[in-house]
Amino acid sequence: MVRFKGMRHIALKVTDVERSAHFYEQVFRMRRFGPPKHEGLFVALVSPNLRDQISLSTATGSEETDRALGQPGDHGGIDHFGFFVSPGSQLDDVRQRVVDAGGSYLGRHDVDKRVPSLFFTDPDGYVFQVTRFPRFTSLFVAALPILNALRGHDERAQLGASAP
């Protein structure tokens, strides 16, 4: 049996590794995961929970996949990536921290009335989302199918499947 444990990292091509590393350190309190590699062209950062990582590189190609990379900020099929903050976090403080570190605020799009969500760009133009989940998030996620059914958002009906 295989158990998926979550996303390990996202790798971003950036124009300036130090500037980008500083941005993610300032906004998300990430820390460098080991020294810079490849003559300073690559830095890995890890989040405070020690689970999430961002790899930053100015290299023109990927050693791992042996392919050329697009320009920094090109989306290449990626719409955005996301972070979440603790239930008590103030979204105005999040917005100010991102802007102070060199990011840009794009707007607010709430996932649900209890799940506010802000969108930003980092200094290279990558779009990211910051979401504040309510307390007891695991209970909330477990209850989503019931909540959706009560609101008339039965996924099976939308997919054309017959109800049990």
pLDDT digits (tens, 9 = 90+) for 17-71: 999 999 999 999 999 987 777 776 888 898 888 778 888 988 777 665 566 777 7
**For residue 89, is pLDDT > 80?**
yes
- Is position 4 within any domain? no
Give the model's pLDDT for residue 51: 79
Number of structural domains, the chain?
1
Closest Cα to residue 27, out of 79, 113, 99, 115?
A: 99
- Is position 75 within any domain? yes
Give the model's pLDDT for residue 156: 45
In contact, 116 and 134? CB cutoff 8 Å:
no
- Is position 83 within any domain? yes
- Is position 3 within any domain? no
Please give the single-letter amino acid code of residue 55. Answer: S
- Is position 163 within any domain? no
CATH code for position 58: 3.10.180.10
Give the three-class secondary structure for 144: helix
pLDDT in tens, 95-147: 999 999 999 999 998 877 788 999 999 999 888 889 887 776 666 566 767 77
| Domain span including residue 149 | 9-156
Give the model's pLDDT for residue 163: 43
**For residue 8, is pLDDT > 90?**
no
